Amino acid sequence: MEGHELFVKMTKVTAPAGFEEAVLAKLPAARKERARVRRTNFRYAFAGSAALVLAGFLLLGPSLSEKESVLTFAEREALSATPVGGRTSSSANRSRAVPVFETMDYASEFRSTSVQPQAVYILEQVSESVSSEIIY
Over residues 8-66, the pLDDT tens digits come to: 888 888 888 999 999 999 999 999 999 999 999 999 999 999 999 999 988 888 777 76
Quick count: other Cβ atoms within 10 Å of Cβ 79?
Answer: 11
Quick: pLDDT tens for 73-125: 777 777 777 766 555 555 545 556 666 777 776 666 666 656 666 666 666 66
- CA pair distance 56, 48, nearest whole angstrom: 12
- Tell me which residue of 80, 78, 84, 82 sits closest to 101, measured CA to CA: 78
Q: What is the pTM of this model?
A: 0.33
- CA pair distance 80, 88, nearest whole angstrom: 12
Cα 107 from chain centroid? 29
Is the four-CA dihedral 74, 76, 78, 80 of positive or negative sign?
A: negative
